[in-house]
Chain A
């Protein structure tokens, strides 16, 4: 506690002696002492552990001894939230609270008119940053008046509705406007700060239906595939009409052509390319606008089908039928389209991952036996660049995780939630945090695709490659979705949770290279950006040395895949993370090790054709012998047979001058009973060390072969050579038996191997099979499984266990001891993250970003430190920084936001008139607020024309690690404006290409739309708080009342054609155009 003599009036003798009875006072405290009629003024003292930067002063203005009233004036700098004037009659021994009242925290002058109860009164004030106002005799305005420095500029109560909806929400919708005018702006803020009391998004059927269409996806290869991708189809070119019954299951399509899907043109990877479909001038080709396809599929047991999904890639529009009944369509309207129909609008991009439609409601159309899926696809122009149809049909797909088909859908979710959620502030903050902790989907997808390829020992075909790509897109989008959903769920929680989640989120681990950051080879990427971008702000109390040290702390942080049932919940997933890998072996036992017997036959001639079949009799006369594994020879004296674990030596195999025959291959067989592992995660496999190649048969079927035999025939002959060499020490090839469809669990299995040399004169040959039983850790999962999800993993073996020091020489210095081995190593970075959360740099940086987002662009880390930003904003950030540590756990977001919004006293700069309609909107704020202003919806989930992306604001796919700017002014540019205006035109017009729409026809019936004046007045009130100038209104009215006509010579003339005189359909068209212009006004860029 500090005490300071402030001032003396009339040199009263008692004052200094009096001092401040600080010992007797409870912790917070006080200000001045004033002695009526002769005087001393003492000091003030502030109340909290961390006082605001500047201290208040108090002085006597005048006294009225007749009325026994003292008029005192307090000067309150920014940061104080209450004031109490106290009186003492006994030289400060006891004090009585006389007048109290709230302060907003803004700089102010407080005037007290205090009745003094004796001629010798002492006065002091108590003040502090607590918003609870202490009790006192009086708090009325006649006793206490507060004049804030910029009091004249406070927002009028009429404008408060617009203001809170502009800032806490994505602008006003007619419904919310009414709601806020009813309950008041402060109550709305309270409501938004505690969203649990509001209906959840899922309770809104409009939201929920669209949400499901966005996030619903069938993971590839899961469930029962009725029509797999790339399967054969019958097709009919739309050069003429097909027979009318072509959609029926009974239709005979034998005369139709056949090919594999995807079918179309414009992409060389399509198995069936329709060269003649696209109209061209050179060579002359008429083309045709449509294609009809039929795909038959068989159902064996109808009763087991519970869910059904159609996954369709198409361009540009389609209608689909199941056994003759329409089940789905997109981008084409009206009755059954004819062959010559073109879609009205360009369709979707075929790279979008397709559209997946839940058609479970149509299961009743299915029958046991043969069924037919029929689809007609239509182009939007016969000369466009692409046409494609590629359906697949899946039953009983997995629904355990929330999957999302593509990142495009995820981008749409920000609009869906932004427009429809009742929890608007939470939706706005979810966008804010997503952008703050930005990650790039593309890099995540690339990483996963690489992992999948790496893990897939042998890509069977191009088709596998395509599946891999699709799976990685789906998995990457799911990772981003899970992260965004966490930010949404915790948007009004603690910053520490958000930071810790981000640090351990698979997308961040991959995006900023934590997965590459290992002991001895640190990668600084994330260590730098967690300081600069996630928490401290650039160059804000950290050094390059801190980055280097922190990078070491993060070594061993990586990702793994896991079944969703085994996924640990947050924060356990971060604090006590999994250390096991995706597939981790708990125990491995040998069913037959090296040294156990196999039948073998030298490849001196072709064996009987059924040599690899079960039941084949291995006779000596046919050359079959028994030997102990492993088999081969080694001619290098430094690398003996023994060293290579060769037991059955084949000295006559190598062709030499002395041994002119030689042989190039060896045949092995073994029949044995193998265990039943069904219901466990166990696996039965054969580990093979080899030189140079082999083919493996299980019960007569080839189930695997080495890469070195990839280009050989299906059944290479005895004298075949492998196409490349492979050395025994180049890795073990694991052939999985129990995952094969040919495996007989708990029964007798026949294993057969043919092994080949690369050259018959080669120096060595070996084949060493070992049959093994692998017991995986209980949370293991196949890395290529489509049922898994990515999660955080700490790999102690990659962790740098040396000592580290961060922030040396500051009060935040962290000393991390050496030798934190094993799972303990996770604590290195967790300790630092803990420290970061409570660090003043974090409080400053996040507070400033929130003030930028919700109040004003007018302050930055630089201008805050230089104290050159406006006082009111400096004061507000000071308060936020204080509020950051005012809760037991620092960084409680609602506490910070309550400081910013100040719903109780409405005195923070949030409420200043200069903030009202003064901040420019970012692209997403513009788009969502435009839709809301029209009472519209963002439920057209198949549209991909997302307006923020067109303005360069692509969520989830930003390359750079700093998020998009929260400063609206950064988005004011010509391209952005054109895109905004085009979007306003599309939306106003309800154009088909727009991802959003509004009930224009209903609106056309309302009184608000009957005259231009009524229309303009409606929007002036709803979104512009009545600020439109008479000139602007007049110009809008002219637009609404003017018809433009194009003359024969191309010039355009305008002539009046009053809105009200138009027939209803023309008037509705004019209404839609005028609405597009209203949303293009200069004023609509402001919030």
Chain B
């Protein structure tokens, strides 16, 4: 019996306590434990075109020859202020976080890092494989099973606390691989309607029965049965943990979440961050596989990025009080071909972009400036067949920076959280060099 199931049995023994008392205890415990640092990660599924997201304007290779229908002219894009890169106009709503003098005249503490050319060696151009590699933090290594954020939580003892409450959650109908591990991390869409059917009487009877039916000893079970039982337990725990999170919610500071799946998920994320002691939240956004009609300054990619940027903006207002402890990070499985295809779209390629935002982020553009980009379209066409943007930074280097600088993890945990890190460091010192994004 592992520690968590032991805890569960004791919780079951304690069931004779008045229901409300036990909830209060949980809520109390939740507010006094755990790492104060929080993370929201947003997976942009489908492979976002990084070249039109952070536009390498200073590269003469970025032109209407390679992108006749999807070229974004200089006057339609947002200037980054570094004399080389521009942003897609759809990103305008998050420029308040970027906060650069070239944009709004207020050269303050910019809290948005825009990182170009992120990927990994031997980039897979399969959606499934590449998403999997990112989420497990183990490119080209199918033998690692758990998700990268799960391993961080496990290595830092997040599941071993006396009353863990809600440690992490995926706000999606599917479970995130990045949060996958032996202890199930819950996933759900809305806190408000995540409960059993029926009136109080029926719900109570049913949930009591479920807790005891799934609460049997995990020893001598097959792995599948063990997963089923522990997922049932996680469901019972989650329903308890969500009690304080339920109820009406009005965002603060006039924050307005976009009326989209992403916007609604981010709103839920804010609720959880305010009302529970959750540490890591995963959110999905699909629709980036723009093989046709990607659009330029307007169109499909605009809609995708604008939705994201509106979400960032809303979070930055709504969670202003937690801003210094919060980090929001985006990822996508690959970028798209430098040259557009015959359908006004782009095909699967290699490196793409990430965004990091939060109180401890040193704002700015990374990997897309005069000095690091290289001359003569080296970056834009640097990979095979002159079709792909090659990576400059391995995403694991950025992840480790997050674990080390944001969560304060000891270096000794690095290999445990990101297996193969040391070897990658040896083989690819440039790719694994940290960018110094976090303060």
Contact = CB atoms under 8 A, between A and B. Distances in A.
A1082 B45 CA distance: 32
B285 to A, nearest CB: 11
A539 B224 contact: no
A132 interface: no
Contact of B210 (A959, A969, A1080): A1080
A626 interface: no
B241 to A, nearest CB: 11
Contacts of A1051: 18-20
Contacts of A517: 342-343
Contacts of B204: 1044, 1052
Given A538-B126, A539-B126, A1086-B225, A986 B197 contact: yes
A518 interface: yes
Interface string A1033-1077: 001101100101110001110100000000000000000010011
Contacts of B195: 978
Contact of B342 (A516, A962, A989, A1073): A516
Contacts of A951: 173
Contacts of A969: 224, 227
B137 interface: no
Contacts of B214: 1082
A609 interface: no
Interface stretch (A194-202, A426-434, A520-528, A705-713): A520-528
Contacts of A1038: 209
Pick the most buried of A973, A985, A1073: most chain B CB atoms within 10 A of its CB. A973
B291 A977 contact: no
Given A920-B228, A952-B172, A523 B345 contact: yes
Given A524-B347, A1082-B213, A978 B235 contact: yes
Contact of A975 (B189, B210, B345): B189
A262 interface: no
Contact of B127 (A919, A960, A1031, A1032): A960
Interface in A225-269: none
Given A528-B348, A1051-B19, A1085 B228 contact: yes
B186 interface: yes
Contact of B209 (A525, A975, A1035): A1035
A151 B397 CA distance: 50
B228 A974 contact: no
Contacts of B212: 1035
A524 B341 contact: yes
Interface string B374-396: 00000000001100000000000
A972 B343 contact: no
A637 to B, nearest CB: 34
Contacts of B172: 952, 975
A836 to B, nearest CB: 18
Which bucket holds chain A's interface residue count? 35 or more
B46 A950 contact: no
B429 interface: no
Interface in B117-168: 124-129, 142
B194 to A, nearest CB: 6
Contacts of B170: 973
Given A974-B186, A985-B198, A959 B292 contact: no
B188 interface: yes
Interface in B196-215: 196-202, 204-206, 208-210, 212-214
A981 interface: yes
Nearest to B347: A524
B250 interface: no
Given A538-B129, A982-B197, A974 B209 contact: no
A918 interface: yes
Given A978-B235, A985-B206, A972 B228 contact: yes
B45 to A, nearest CB: 7
Interface in A714-750: none
Nearest to A522: B342
Nearest to B208: A1054
Nearest to B340: A521
Interface in B343-382: 343, 345, 347-348
B311 interface: no
A730 to B, nearest CB: 21
Interface in B60-100: none
A919 B224 contact: yes
Nearest to B222: A918
A1031 B216 contact: yes
Contacts of A516: 291-292, 342-343, 345
Nearest to A548: B385
A451 B235 CA distance: 46
B286 interface: yes
Nearest to A860: B142
B326 interface: no
A919 to B, nearest CB: 7
A977 B211 CA distance: 13
A525 B186 contact: no
Given A862-B142, A1054-B205, A950 B342 contact: no
A978 B341 contact: no
Nearest to B186: A974
A961 interface: yes
A689 to B, nearest CB: 29
A513 interface: yes
B189 A513 contact: no
Contacts of A525: 291, 347
A110 B126 CA distance: 46
Nearest to B45: A960
Contacts of A522: 341-342
A1001 interface: no
A544 B384 contact: yes
Interface in A925-981: 950-952, 959-962, 968-970, 972-978, 981
Contacts of A914: 222
B231 interface: yes
A1081 B229 CA distance: 10
Pick the most buried of A978, A982, A1050: most chain B CB atoms within 10 A of its CB. A978
B50 interface: no
B175 interface: yes
A405 B438 CA distance: 54
A977 B201 contact: no
A976 B188 CA distance: 8
B238 interface: yes
A1044 B213 contact: no
Contacts of A978: 188, 194-196, 235, 239
B210 A981 contact: yes
Interface string B13-48: 000001110000000000000000000000001100
A532 interface: yes
B306 interface: no
A965 to B, nearest CB: 9
B345 to A, nearest CB: 7
Interface string B318-355: 00000000000000000000000111010110000000
B85 to A, nearest CB: 28
B232 interface: yes
B128 A974 contact: no
Nearest to B204: A1052
Which 8 A-B pairs have CB atoms at the shortest separation, nearest pair first?
A521-B342, A952-B173, A516-B343, A973-B175, A974-B186, A985-B197, A1044-B205, A1052-B204
24 contacts: A516-B292, A518-B342, A521-B342, A521-B343, A522-B342, A523-B343, A525-B347, A538-B124, A538-B126, A918-B222, A969-B227, A975-B187, A976-B175, A978-B195, A978-B239, A986-B197, A991-B197, A1036-B209, A1042-B205, A1054-B208, A1080-B210, A1080-B213, A1081-B213, A1082-B213
Interface of A: 512-513, 516-518, 520-525, 528, 532, 538-539, 544, 857, 860, 862, 914, 918-920, 950-952, 959-962, 968-970, 972-978, 981-982, 985-986, 989, 991, 1031-1032, 1035-1036, 1038-1039, 1042, 1044-1046, 1050-1052, 1054, 1073, 1076-1077, 1080-1082, 1085-1086
